[in-house]
Chain A
């Protein structure tokens, strides 16, 4: 397969080991071939490395399955998910989830990535809705001084910057790629 087919969650066999792509970016120099800058995690050691593949390089992609599952709870290092159609449960470690762990909240539906029936990691929805638990009220003069955003803590403990008009109890959408506030959800 061509590196151009790489997506987040793609599993490739590279130098004898299995790796899952956690991030990638297509880069085109001013001249010459384009490349895919890839951040991939070893499924054996959990180590994350960066590799740059030329578009014409050839890669071995492994077949993976995706299963819709609901996040149940976190028990120290393990995060447990359940398939609502057959009540089967799988657990993943913090290393497996990486940065995605901080977006989880009870009942959230995610896609669990499986290879040879073994759960590898999850795919989050692009945007997730949260309730703002703690944030300071807007102070008069904030806009004039250029402070158009402030800190907020959400119902699952996640911290984001939000616009000053956001109040405690508001529902907001957060982008799970950037970790940034997207919009307030109309009540």
Chain B
């Protein structure tokens, strides 16, 4: 069999397995826009920006999505209960190959009325089914609190650790820091140097991140952590999801601080998605959402170590 055909058939099997999984569980597959006026505002993203032009209209600034998250949440706010989508998403200024391709396929799914624990259960079942379709079996996925991992690997208790405590830990562990470091930077320096390398190859859910890494996640009942979950498999970050934040006031505040950070870093800004904030209160609490990299799943189930090997047209060969 020629290689492109092999890749195409493998991808078809993955997509079919995923679609069958969600159909069986009463999800609806939806299509969401790739070109939007208000993309995600995450401070570290570089967007593919463009301009929308229509005859007789004023032109509009736009960008390609980095995830279908905002559109998906609007649909939840309009009353859809269980939805999934295969979205083509775009991130500029990432490595050209290896674990990254500037455009990639993201599977996102949401269920109203369920939280991140249910999400971990469902994600494990889904990933196992796709693996099984390729004759691969993995041990039960480990579930590790970020707090426990950092305590074990860096000797830092995130319970009550402030910026100064994180700074002290970095000094103790001989991790270089910079005066511009935020609490989030210091946490991430510790995480990258000490915690992440210990995760290993076994499937592992890391859950409950510190609030400085909350993104769009709701807080835990004690208010100390974010209900955010990442799945690592074969040492690759495969999915990232949350019990979704549905409070529009808190969400607006997070958008505002992200915009401020983008301005500080000289990155372009986009308008806040007001339609999302209008619909957010109609999303039930809890609601979980998860985003999974389909190309990376393809790498894992077929044992390939580079994303180029599972793409028919890797960007590294187009540019």
A-side residues, CB < 8 A to B, are: 4, 25-35, 37, 50-52, 54-57, 146, 175, 177-178, 180, 183
Q: Which residues of A contact B99 (CB under 8 A)?
A: 25
B residues bordering A, Cβ < 8 Å? 3, 42-45, 93-95, 97-100, 135, 175-176, 178, 180-182, 184-185, 188-189, 191-193, 197, 209, 212-215, 228, 230, 240, 265, 304-306, 309
- Residues of chain A within 8 A (CB-CB) of B43 are 31-33
Give the chain B neighbours of A54 by CB distance below 8 A.
Answer: 178, 180-181, 185, 189
Contact of A178 among B94, B100, B212, B306 (CB under 8 A): B306
Q: Is the CB of A57 within 8 A of B215?
A: no
Contact A29–B306 (Cβ < 8 Å): no
CB atoms of A26 and B94 under 8 A apart:
yes
Assuming the A-B contacts A30-B213, A30-B215, A30-B228, are A35 and B94 also in contact, with contact meaning beta carbons closer than 8 angstroms in the complex? no
User: Are A177 and B306 touching (Cβ within 8 A)?
Assistant: yes
Residue of A nearest to B181 (CB): A54
Inter-chain CA distance A4–B228, complex, in Å, is 28
Q: What is the distance, in angstroms, from A48's C-beta to the closest C-beta of chain B?
A: 14
Residues of A within 8 A of B197 (CB): 50
Cβ of A28 and Cβ of B192 under 8 Å apart?
no
Could you tell me the distance between the alpha carbons of A159 and B182 in the complex, rounded to whole angstroms? Answer: 46
Q: Tell me whether B240 and A52 are in contact (CB under 8 A).
A: no
Other A-B pairs beyond A29-B191, A52-B175, 9, CB < 8 Å = A26-B94, A30-B213, A31-B212, A32-B43, A33-B44, A33-B185, A54-B185, A178-B305, A180-B309
Assuming the A-B contacts A52-B192, A54-B178, A146-B135, are A29 and B305 also in contact, with contact meaning beta carbons closer than 8 angstroms in the complex?
no
Name the contact of B178 in the complex, choosing from A25, A27, A56, A178 (C-beta under 8 A).
Answer: A56
Docked CA distance A4–B267 (Å)? 15
B44 touching A34 by the CB < 8 A rule? Answer: yes
Q: Which residues of A contact B184 (CB under 8 A)?
A: 29, 31-33
| Cβ contacts under 8 Å, B175 to chain A | 52
Rounded to whole Å, the gap between the CB of B32 and the closest CB of chain A is: 20
Q: A32-B188, A37-B192 are in contact. Are A180 and B212 (CB under 8 A)?
A: no
A22 to chain B, nearest CB (A): 14
A7 to B246: give the CA distance in the assembly, Å. Answer: 41
Chain B residues, CB < 8 A from A52: 175, 189, 192-193
- Residue in B closest to A26 when the chains form the complex, CB atoms: B95
17 A-B pairs within 8 Å (CB atoms) are namely A25-B98, A25-B99, A27-B192, A28-B45, A29-B213, A31-B184, A31-B213, A32-B212, A34-B44, A35-B192, A55-B44, A56-B180, A56-B265, A146-B135, A175-B306, A180-B304, A180-B309
Q: CA separation between A35 and B188, bound complex, in Å?
A: 9
CA distance A175 to B307 in the complex (A): 13
Q: Is the CB of B188 within 8 A of A180?
A: no
Measured between beta carbons, the chain B residues less than 8 angstroms from A32 are 43-44, 182, 184-185, 188, 212-213
Shortest Cβ distance from B98 into A: residue:
A25
Q: Can you name the residue of chain A whose Cβ is closest to the Cβ of B240?
A: A30
B214 and A31 contact, CB distance less than 8 A: yes
Distance (Å) between the CB of A5 and the closest chain B CB?
A: 12
Within the assembled complex, what's the spacing in Å between the Cα atoms of A34 and B191?
A: 13
Instruction: Please tell me if the beta carbons of B94 and A183 are within 8 angstroms of each other in the complex.
Output: no
Question: Once the chains bind, are B44 and A29 in contact (CB under 8 Å)?
Answer: yes
- Which of A4, A52, A57, A177 has the most CB atoms of chain B within a 10 A radius of its CB? A52
**Cα–Cα distance between A31 and B255 once the two chains are bound (Å):** 12
Task: Please indicate the chain B residues that have their CB under 8 angstroms from the CB of A28 in the complex.
Answer: 42, 44-45, 94
Chain A residues with Cβ below 8 Å from B181 are 54
Contacts of A26 in B (CB 8 A): 93-95, 100
Known contacts A54-B181, A54-B185; is A31 also within 8 Å of B306 by CB? Answer: no
Specify which chain B residues have a CB less than 8 angstroms from the CB of A177 in the assembled complex: 97-98, 306
Q: How far does the alpha carbon of A32 sit from the alpha carbon of B176 in the complex, in Å?
A: 17
* Bound Cα distance from A55 to B97, whole angstroms: 20
Q: Which A residues touch B193, using CB under 8 A? A: 50, 52
Q: How far is the CA of A51 from the CA of B197 in the complex (A)?
A: 12
Cα A30 to Cα B214 in complex, Å, equals 8
Instruction: Tell me which residues across on chain B come within 8 A of A51, comparing CB atoms.
Output: 176
A186–chain B nearest beta-carbon distance, Å? 12
Kindly provide the distance from the CB of B205 to the nearest chain A CB, expressed in whole angstroms: 14
Closest to A30 in B: B215
In Å, the complex CA distance between A54 and B209 comes to: 20
CB distance from A36 to the nearest CB of B (A): 10
What are the 9 tightest A-B residue pairs by CB atom distance, in nearest-first order? Answer: A32-B184, A34-B44, A52-B192, A30-B215, A28-B44, A31-B213, A31-B215, A146-B135, A29-B188
